[in-house]
Structure 1
Amino acid sequence: MMQKLNVNLWMQGTGDEAGEFYAQALPGGSMEVESRYPTEGLLEFQKPLAGKALTVTVRVRDQRFTLINAGPDFTPNPSISLMLNFDPLDYGGSIDAARAELDRTWEKLSLGGQVLMELGEYPYSSRYGWVQDKYNVSWQLILTDQEGDPRPFMMPSLLFGGAAQNRAAEAIEYYNQVFGAREGMLVTYPEPTGPATTDSVMFADFALGDDWVTAMDSGVPQDFTFNPGVSLEWPCEGQAELDRVWDVLSAVPEAEQCGWLTDKFGVSWQIVPSNLAELMLRPNAFENLLAMKKLVIDEF
């Protein structure tokens, strides 16, 4: 599997400790500080973070996600969660072994957190639960028996509620156009459920290359929606591809900053050059990054 899509989680000065937490909580997890704040050239609100971790990469099996160590500006919420698939095929075909691993992970992630859906049996799985951990990051853990295209262990899951209610199908079609995604499963609600109609998506997934994303319309009213607390990062090969994706995807001009944008559904994206890590090694790269909205490779 070649992961391209990356999930970024906003941490309020807790990047290091959260990285250690996830490395211990997730099966086969590990963490590494990928970059640090410089000691000079910081904006006023960043000065308390001088020299501290800027990005922390957490690896789980053959996938990764990133913790952005920053201030109190944003907080993750359940509009984007991470779904973990515990497939017996990954445990020698043993349902008991997969279930035991799921239960161990649930116990660790729920420590100090809040249960959103109790761990138990549901019509779509014999073992499922949804928990928001102590860093406000939401996780869905599911025991699966996959058929058809294999799904990765970890998938970002988009919940369309609040201002984005009932726009999941529209979003999937849009992302297909922007990224060349391919559709997987799509199941609509069999009857009106809360704010969801029979045209609303009860569950769907789609693939961006080797990466899978799930999406659903909320079946209960939500007072939250997408925000930069959880963002999706998409690397582009060269300036031309970056320009194309940025120009099509960005829908909120005032949200454009340092490679970040907000699309028409409210989802935050970081559209970056695929060699961003290399570019950040250049002299004054951090200061140059802060001055940009869309990232321009030649201006690093």
Structure 2
Amino acid sequence: MAGLSPIQPCLWFHDRAREAMEYYVGVFPDSRITAIQDYPDESLDEHFAGMSGKVLNGEFTLNGVDFVCLDGGPEFTMTEAVSFVVSCDDQAEIDRYWAALSHVPESEQCGWCKDRFGVSWQIVPARMGELLQTPAQIQVMMAQKKIVIAELENA
């Protein structure tokens, strides 16, 4: 993994790592897939049964942040205990990322959403701390799904 950041998140997908990487690099600017190593042909080893053509190790960059991923099967699943914060400059940027990443309406709250691969994201204004100075602003934020900057400013 030469050239990657010394620390990067690793995403374990059941069997959709390639699809997820391709999707994410289309969502975020300054993004690219840097390497994909597929599982060896399953006929070579019984441990690889059903994994031929799946991602053993994928490396990609999203908006300058390095990630790795793999297709590891159903043993582990994504959880909201880990999420990725996307700091946005304005409402238009929040709206764009929200439209691209929010696919599970029942998991939406306070700027958190879950994408179609089960990964959790926090789509928030870069100046979130400034927008949460009063109890009224915090209450408004707690009732929001997608963050609406004007509602926080007017609270």
Matched, 1:230 2:82: yes
Shift of 1:167: 0.2
Match of 2:69 in 1: 215
RCO (CA 8 Å, sep 6+): is it higher in 1 or 2?
2
Give the distance between the partners of 1:199 and 1:215, measured in 2 at CA. 15
Cα drift, residue 152 of structure 1: 1.5
Q: Alpha-carbon deviation of 1:283?
A: 5.1
Specify which structure has the higher proportion of helix.
2
Query: Whole-Å Cα distance in 2 between the matches of residues 195 and 297 of structure 1?
Result: 49
C-alpha offsets along residues 229-277 of structure 1, whole Å, 9 cap, x if unaligned? Answer: 1111111110001101101211111111110111001111111111112
Distance of aligned partners of 1:244 and 1:212 in 2 relative to their CA distance in 1, 3 Å threshold: same
Alignment of 1:107-122 (within 5 A): none
Higher strand fraction (1 or 2): 1
Inter-partner Cα distance in structure 2 for 1:240 and 1:283: 26
Q: Which runs of 4+ in 1 moved over 6 A?
A: none
Does the 8 Å contact 2:41/2:48 carry over to 1?
Answer: no
Which of 119, 133, 137 is the matching residue for 1:285?
137
2:120 to 268, 275, 278: 268
Displacement of 1:195 after TM fit? 5.9
Number of aligned residue pairs: give it: 147
Aligned to 1:139: none
Residue 206 (structure 1) aligns with? 60
Larger-gyration structure (1/2): 1
SS of 1:284's equivalent in the other structure is: helix
1:145-201 C-alpha deviation (Å, 9 max, x unpaired): x2xxx32121010011xxxx2100000000011113211111000123446522100
The offset of 1:296, in angstroms, is 0.5
Q: In the alignment, residue 37 of structure 2 is paired with which amino acid?
A: V
Alignment match, 2:24: 175
State which drifts further: 283-292 or 268-277: 283-292
The residue aligned with 1:241 is 93
Counterpart of 1:190 in structure 2 is 40
Partner Cα separation in structure 2 for residue 284 and residue 196 of structure 1 = 53
Cα distance per residue 1:110-135 (max 9 Å; x no partner): xxxxxxxxxxxxxxxxxxxxxxxxxx
TM-score, with structure 2 as normaliser: 0.87
Q: Distance in 2 between matches of 1:238 and 1:290?
A: 19
- Confirm or deny: 8 A CA contact 1:189 1:196 kept in the other structure: no
Judge conservation of contact 1:262–1:269 (CA < 8 Å) in 2. Answer: yes
User: What is the SS of the residue equivalent to 1:241?
Assistant: helix
C-alpha distance in 1, partners of 2:114/2:100?
Answer: 11
Give the TM-score of the pair, scaled to structure 1: 0.47
Tell me, in whole angstroms, the C-alpha distance in 1 between the residues paired with 2:64 and 2:118: 24
Conserved? CA contact 1:185–1:205, under 8 Å:
yes
Partner of residue 250 from structure 1, selected from 87, 102, 127: 102
- Contiguous gaps of at least 5 residues in structure 1: 1-143
Provide Cα deviations, 1:63-98, integer angstroms capped at 9, x if missing partner: xxxxxxxxxxxxxxxxxxxxxxxxxxxxxxxxxxxx
Give the aligned partner of residue 29 of structure 1: none
CA contact (8 A) 1:196 1:217 kept: no
User: Could you tell me the percent identity over the aligned residues?
Assistant: 41
- Could you tell me how far apart the structure 1 residues matched to 2:65 and 2:112 are? 20
Counterpart-to-counterpart distance in 1, 2:86 and 2:67: 13
